[in-house]
Amino acid sequence: MFKKVDASQLKVGMYVHDLSCDWMTHPFVRNRFLLRSEDEIRKIIAAGIRDVVIDNTKGLDVQNAPSVAQVAAAIESELVQIASAPQPVARISLSMELARATQLRRQAAGMVRAVMADARLGKAVEIDRLQPMVHDITESILRNPGALVGLLRIKTKDDYTFLHSVSVCALMVAFCRSRGLDAATTHQAGLGGLLHDTGKALVPDAILNKPGPLSPEEFDIVKRHPRDGHAILLQTPDLGPIPLDITLHHHERRDGSGYPDGLAGDAIGELAQMAAIVDVYDALTSERSYHKAIPAAEALRKIYEWSKFHFNPVFVQDFMRCVGIYPVGTMVRLESGRLAVVIEAHESNLLAPKVNVFFSTRSNAYIKPETIDLSRGLGFGGGDKIVGHESAAKWQVDPMRFLSLAYD
Whether 258 and 140 have beta carbons less than 8 Å apart is answered as no
Whether 396 and 381 have beta carbons less than 8 Å apart is answered as no
What does the domain layout of the chain look like in residue ranges? 2-66, 94-323, 331-402
- In this predicted structure, what is the pLDDT of residue 12? 94
- In this predicted structure, what is the pLDDT of residue 408? 41
String of DSSP letters for 92-127: S-HHHHHHHHHHHHHHHHHHHHHHHHHHHTTPPP-H
- In this predicted structure, what is the pLDDT of residue 83? 64
Helix 127-143 / helix 160-178 crossing angle, nearest 10 deg: 60
Which residues neighbour 303 within 8 Å (Cβ) at sequence distance 6 or greater? 277, 280, 281, 284, 311, 316, 319
Rounded distance, CA 13 to CA 297, Å?
A: 33
Angle at CA 294, nearest 5°, toward 86 and 315?
A: 35
At 234, which amino acid appears?
Answer: L
Gyration radius of the chain's alpha carbons: 21
Which residues neighbour 231 within 8 Å (Cβ) at sequence distance 6 or greater? 199
Please name the fold of domain 94-323: Hypothetical protein af1432 (1.10.3210)
Rounded distance, CA 207 to CA 225, Å?
A: 12
- In this predicted structure, what is the pLDDT of residue 397? 92
Report in angstroms the alpha-carbon separations of 308 from 22, 55, 270.
Answer: 14, 23, 17
How high is the mean pLDDT in each 10-residue block of the chain (408 residues)?
A: 89 89 63 89 83 91 87 77 64 86 94 93 90 96 91 81 94 95 98 97 90 84 96 92 98 94 97 97 84 84 90 94 87 95 82 92 94 78 81 88 66
- In this predicted structure, what is the pLDDT of residue 348? 72
- In this predicted structure, what is the pLDDT of residue 314? 94
pLDDT in tens, 5-16: 988 899 999 999
Burial class (CB in 10 A: 0-12, 13-18, 19+), 185: middle
Report in angstroms the alpha-carbon separations of 185 from 137, 191, 248, 250.
Answer: 14, 10, 17, 17
- In this predicted structure, what is the pLDDT of residue 43? 85
- In this predicted structure, what is the pLDDT of residue 211? 79
Angle at CA 173, nearest 5°, toward 167 and 179?
A: 130
- In this predicted structure, what is the pLDDT of residue 86? 60
At 279, which amino acid appears?
Answer: D
If we measure between CA atoms, which residue out of 227, 236, 238, 233 comes closest to residue 203? Answer: 227
Supply the pTM of this predicted model. Answer: 0.86
At 298, which amino acid appears?
Answer: E
